[in-house]
Amino acid sequence: MRRPRRTAALTITALVAVLSAATFAAPATGAVPDPVLPTPESEVNVTGEPFTGTAPDGGVRGYVDAHSHMFMEDGIGGAAVCGSAFSPAGIADALRDCDAHGPHGGTALLENLTRHGSPFGTHDTTGWPTFADWPAHDSLTHQQMYYRWVERSWRAGQRVLVNQLTSNGLLCSINPGTYQDCDEMAAIRLQIEDAYALQDFVDAQYGGPGEGWFRIVTDSAQARQVVTEGKLAVVLGVETSEPFGCKQTLRVFDGCTRSDISAGLDELYDLGVRSMFVCHKFDNALCGVRFDTGSTGTIVNAGQFLSTGTFWQVRSCPADEPHDNNPGNIDLPEELDWLPVPPRYPSGTVCNPYGLTSKGEYLVEELMERGMLIEVDHMSAKAADRTLGMLEEAGYGGVLSTHSWTDERHLDRIYALGGFATMYGHDTEGLIAEYERTADVRARHDVAGVGFGFDMNGFGGTPDPSDGRVAYPFTSLDGGSTLERQVTGERTWDVNTDGVAHYGLVPDYLEDLRVTGGEVLTDDVLRGAEYYLRTWESAESASP
């Protein structure tokens, strides 16, 4: 039996009515009031007050995750990520497995493919309170961003979270258990509703509208004020393969009109969206994509064929110029022989010959007109080159690369415009390597801040166990809080043995980063929110 969609608006209204009857003492300046929480609830395991105010130079302090997916329970048909970021009915309702996974996980197609490389596998489906098998760093279909886990990261120093609203119509159509509309824009609307419902839910715990730590922001000044108050500024972005119905079929780019793009952008802007990708996993009517690699690339390429009628086209191109990932030639296992088989591709350096279409150029122009942030990740090298050229011609600085999905040769142009780049949430060694590899380009443009895009709930995977490098308790990067091991129900999490199993272990990962990479790196991490906001301010100042 499929799980019905919750009626968030009604349940939140009822919750606010109940909690508003409670008496809240006025907290001391800078202190966080004791919230009125549902019972039972996940622990946060952080002591100390969230820091407020600004740094000595007037900038804000705090780290930024510029790319995660908090509300993916309402993406890809409602049965791709199991469990919700919150539920007014409590944690036992929120953190439960998908009905489509069956009693032992044997029918969990996406879970088994992404975790075991095969359609076959089992897992403990109990969830609260034991969490025997999930969430886990290598389980991609179970909720990793329960709101109390995000709260732990906020209390440890996070000040900006960019929530990417996403879906995939093709995956929705083939995933067992799908029960929601597979139209990608319908899924994005549901996730926007979820975000505002969570804001109301947290506000109710802290005394009423505007009082909670989870604050959706719609301009840079509002974001800067929220961060100065010591709260979490939440930015809504869109990352989806066929926005506004802009798909392509058999290389005919006729999936949407310019009017569809303008009307769709107007709707998103009115709903609070301020950041957007032009393309994602499949070539669409707007631009060509940067390829996935290995077995993932083979599967995504098969999805491209099922969605568009064509596989990726791959051409050899010069190694000393921006280029795309090589999808490679991986033979699918027998269990996946029902998927269409991509052609054989050349080895070496390759490019997608499809760049930014005329409709893609129109979308970029419309994003600039509204002062919105433009993401170049997932664009083919050719599409990113044209997009950056348009931004350079316009003197528009609102450009982002948020999870290491563009050729690093583009970073000079991104920073020269006033843009900002954050690194994928690699394992510790991988992030340190990227930080060091890209240090020169940041220095050339006097950029002292870095950030990351964990892509949590985004099927990208999270860091492995840290091999005993983190000693508990530890002090947060900002020096103001003490963190113990995180406890949810009967499960105690430890980044040394569990890796980044869920978002509450992001602070633990950053402690591993500090121990391994040094405080120069983590000082730059604490400057990340400031540099993200500077890029947003650049976009707003350049728009008419």
Per-residue pLDDT at 21 exceeds 80: no
Calpha distance 297→329 (Å, rounded): 9
In one-letter notation, the amino acid at residue 130 is T
Give mean pLDDT, residues 62-71.
98
What residues form DSSP beta bridges with 482? 47, 475
- Give 201-259 pLDDT, tens digit per residue: 999 999 999 999 999 999 999 999 999 999 999 999 999 999 999 999 999 877 899 99
Write out the two tokens for 228: 């100065």
Residue 369, phi-psi category: left (phi > 0), alpha (psi -120 to 50), beta (remainder): alpha
- The pLDDT, as a whole number, for residue 398 is 98
Q: What is the mean pLDDT of residues 295-320?
A: 93
CATH class entry, domain 63-79+138-278+354-542? alpha beta
The share of the chain scoring above pLDDT 70, in percent, equals: 94
β-partners of residue 374 are 276, 399
Are the C-beta atoms of residues 529 and 64 closer than 8 Å to each other? yes
pLDDT band per the 50, 70, 90 thresholds, residue 32 = low
pLDDT tens, residue by residue, 325-354: 999 998 877 777 778 889 999 999 999 999
What is the average pLDDT across 31-38?
80
pLDDT higher for 391 or 21?
A: 391
Check if the beta carbon of residue 466 is closer than 8 Å to that of residue 511.
no
Residues 278-284, mean pLDDT to the nearest whole number: 96
Q: Is the pLDDT of residue 23 over 80?
A: no
- For the segment 298-326, the average pLDDT, to the nearest whole number, is 95
DSSP designation for 379: B
Q: Which of 452, 442, 449 is nearest to 414 (CA)?
A: 442
Place of tokens 């600085």: 397
**39-43, 313-317, 334-338: range with lowest mean pLDDT:** 334-338
Contact (Cβ atoms closer than 8 angstroms) between residue 301 and residue 342: yes
- Amino acid in position 214: F
Confidence check: pLDDT of 18 > 70: no
Task: Specify which residues 351 forms β-bridges with.
Answer: 315
Average pLDDT over residues 441-459: 96
Span of 114-118, 313-317, 500-504 with lowest mean pLDDT: 114-118
pLDDT over 80 at 29, yes or no: no
The predicted-structure confidence for 528-537, as pLDDT tens digits, reads as follows 999 999 999 9
Express each pLDDT in 401-443 by its tens digit: 999 999 999 999 999 999 999 999 999 999 999 999 999 999 9
| Encoded amino acid at 374, one letter | I
pTM for this prediction? 0.93
Cα dist. 477→158, 242, 390, 495 in Å? 10, 39, 38, 16
pLDDT of residue 31: 58
> Taking all residues of the chain, what is their mean pLDDT, rounded to a whole number?
91
Q: Is 288 helix (H, G, I), strand (E, B) or coil?
A: coil
Q: What stretches of 93-206 adopt beta strand conformation (E)?
A: 158-165
CA nearest to 508, candidates 11, 41, 44: 44
- Class of residue 36 by CB neighbours under 10 A (exposed 0-12, middle 13-18, buried 19+): middle
Count Cα atoms within 13 angstroms, Cβ side, for 476: 28
Q: What are phi and psi of 515, to 5 degrees?
A: -65, -40
**Starting from the edge strand earliest in sequence, which strands make up the sheet with 482-483, in order?**
46-47, 482-483, 474-475
In single-letter form, the type of residue at position 168 comes to N
Domain boundaries, the chain: 63-79+138-278+354-542, 294-351
Whether the Cβ atoms of residue 407 and residue 322 lie closer than 8 Å to each other: yes
Q: What does the pLDDT average to over 63-83?
A: 96
Of 5-14, 60-69, 299-308, which one has max mean pLDDT?
60-69
DSSP string, 243-290: GGG---BTTB--S--HHHHHHHHHHHHHTTEEEEES--SS--SSB-BP
491: closest CA among 147, 81, 104, 42? 42
Helix (H, G, I), strand (E, B) or coil at 488: strand
- What does the alpha-carbon distance between residue 125 and residue 103 come to, in Å, rounded to a whole number? 7
CB atoms within 10 A of CB 497: 11
β 399-401/491-493 pair status? unpaired
